[in-house]
Amino acid sequence: MGNTHDRTIPSDALVIFGVTGDLAHKMIFPALYAMSKRGTLNVPVVGVAASQLSLTELRKRVSESIWQAGKIDDQNALDHLLSLLRYVGGDYNNPGTFEALKQALDDTQHPAHYLAIPPKLFTTVIKGLGAAGLATQARIIVEKPFGRDLASAQALNRIALSVFAEDAIFRIDHYLGKEAIMNILYFRFANSFLEPIWNRNCVASVQITLAENFGVKGRGMFYESAGCLRDVIQNHLFQIVALLAMEPPAYQGFGAVHNEKAKIFQAMRPLQPDDVVRGQYTGYRDELGVAKDSDVETFCALRLFIDSWRWQGVPWYLRSGKCLAETAAEVLVELKPPPQRLFDDSAPADGRANYLRFRLSPNSAVALAARVKHAGKEFVGDQRELYLLDEQPEERTPYERLLGDAMLGDGALFTREDAVEAAWAVVAPVLGTHHPVIPYEPGSWGPKQADMLIAADGSWYNPILVKVAT
């Protein structure tokens, strides 16, 4: 086991390994600027990378990143952020780099080390921090993916735990920092009307769609090593399943939430090849870095079962893909129809009974669909949606929220070792043994075989985005 860790003490420095990389440029610098605007960033920010940069060059990179992410509307906040920056250049394999980092950290006692670097470097940096004595009373923030399969996730966790305590390890899945995802947890347990129907007796099926209308955007080489199942479903969509399916936490605190989420992953039935439909958009093999005979999936749909008292027999349908018809993420919890047809039209034309719908992106909303009678003496009506929540302005970005929480020691929105490993165990049987990819046209909803996967329980709900004229 690694060092003991006092989770109540805020971090007094933020170290960003990979500060010259894409993630830092696109996500982390704008988040730090937002934190500076809110007055929540007042500690040194030490960038570490292999390049030999001057501090002036780093400040220029940070300013350019914030310009590209949006306008600079608070010069004082930007100046404050730039004043906090320090830089250490050097090879991660060289102990001297970590000694230089120690000098740059000066008298700070509780740094948070953020690994915004390729996963293959995680072990090197974690061991380097341990050897240099930089892990004592420190935190480590690790970007996904946490391994490529169960064995590599277990190996990574072993190495991290040999240097850091479990509650000092913050495994980032930026999806958990989204306002709409957090609202699922709140909506479920802040309202009493859901609990009587939130089980196998009333829920017919659950489907989750995370669709993107663009391709791999020049990241073909990365995608060849990942694929949709690893990149999106095993982490983002499984996390949503856990929030929807978990039992009520035993007490108020993130440890209780983690306990219940881990139980859901442990109750998921391991996938088999016939539970999964893999697709690949036409044109993917022409992308730079992609093999001409690539069998990597850019679309994945699967049928999942949770073998628990609450969810036994309820199918969960998950799908995600690139080059689909829309960019959106939605959950549809379909309820069973009334036990007796008292009205001729109570079976809707599309076959869909009452449902609860969570829109997660591009905006957040919760809607409840119920049948309402038309005016007149005939007992006919239609199904309408009652909107319960719409977008709230001024929400923090996921990275701003997650960075701030990690530095405060708040692990609520991060993932725990046992949950990560249990999720990998669910997909383990199909990572190497699966059906070949099926081509699909860009702009469609994926291969038709995905429709056949869900056919026994109805059809996919395709998010329909209302285009607002500007």
Judged by average pLDDT, the poorest of 152-156, 240-244, 323-327 is: 152-156
pLDDT at residue 250, rounded to an integer: 85
Residue 287 has pLDDT above 60, yes or no: yes
pLDDT at residue 177, rounded to an integer: 65
Residue 351 has pLDDT above 70, yes or no: no
pLDDT at residue 338, rounded to an integer: 78
Catalytic residue among 5, 113, 174, 236: 236
User: Apex CA 300: angle with CA 299 and CA 303, to 5°?
Assistant: 155
Distance CA 125, CA 113 (A): 10
- In terms of Cα–Cα distance, which of 436, 435, 417, 423 is closest to 149? 423
Overall average pLDDT of the 174-185 stretch: 74
Give 50's contacts (C-beta < 8 A, 6+ positions apart): 20, 89, 90, 91, 92
Backbone angles phi, psi at 241, to 5 degrees: -55, -45
Distance CA 208, CA 301 (A): 10
Give 466's contacts (C-beta < 8 A, 6+ positions apart): none
Residue 55 has pLDDT above 60, yes or no: yes
Under DSSP, is residue 331 helix (H, G, I), strand (E, B) or coil?
A: strand
Residue 181 has pLDDT above 50, yes or no: yes
Query: Count of CB atoms within 10 A of residue 42's CB?
Result: 11
pLDDT at residue 269, rounded to an integer: 97
Overall average pLDDT of the 234-243 stretch: 90
Model pLDDT for residues 115-165, shown as the tens digit of each residue: 988 888 899 999 999 999 998 889 998 887 788 889 888 888 898 999 998
The torsion angle over the Cα atoms of residues 46, 50, 52 and 58, rounded to 10 degrees, is -40
Residue 469 has pLDDT above 60, yes or no: no
Distance CA 233, CA 398 (A): 18
Give 170's contacts (C-beta < 8 A, 6+ positions apart): 112, 139, 140, 141, 142, 402, 405, 406, 411, 414
Q: Answer yes or no: are the C-beta atoms of 245 and 306 closer than 8 Å.
A: yes
Distance CA 154, CA 88 (A): 31
pLDDT at residue 468, rounded to an integer: 39
Overall average pLDDT of the 244-266 stretch: 87
Alpha carbon separation from 186 to 194, 269, 332, 403 (Å, rounded): 12, 26, 17, 21
Residue 346 has pLDDT above 90, yes or no: no
Under DSSP, is residue 62 helix (H, G, I), strand (E, B) or coil?
A: helix
pTM, full prediction: 0.86
Model pLDDT for residues 303-315, shown as the tens digit of each residue: 999 999 999 999 9
Residue 429 has pLDDT above 80, yes or no: yes
First to last CA, the chain: 57
Distance CA 233, CA 9 (A): 34
Q: Which residue has the higher pLDDT, 327 or 415?
A: 327
Residue 76 has pLDDT above 80, yes or no: yes
pLDDT at residue 251, rounded to an integer: 79
Active site residue 236: yes
Structure tokens at 157: 């966790």
- In terms of Cα–Cα distance, which of 91, 103, 101 is closest to 49? 91
Judged by average pLDDT, the poorest of 28-42, 214-228, 278-292, 400-414 is: 400-414
Strands 276-281 and 438-440: parallel
Judged by average pLDDT, the poorest of 84-93, 236-245, 321-330, 351-360 is: 351-360
pLDDT at residue 467, rounded to an integer: 47
Residue 371 has pLDDT above 80, yes or no: no
Under DSSP, is residue 195 helix (H, G, I), strand (E, B) or coil?
A: helix
Judged by average pLDDT, the poorest of 44-48, 121-125, 318-322, 362-366 is: 362-366
Mean pLDDT, the chain, whole residue set: 86
Residue 348 has pLDDT above 90, yes or no: no
Sheet with strand 45-49: strands edge to edge = 85-89, 45-49, 13-17, 111-115, 139-143, 169-172
pLDDT at residue 347, rounded to an integer: 61
pLDDT band at 47 (very low <50, low <70, confident <90, very high): very high
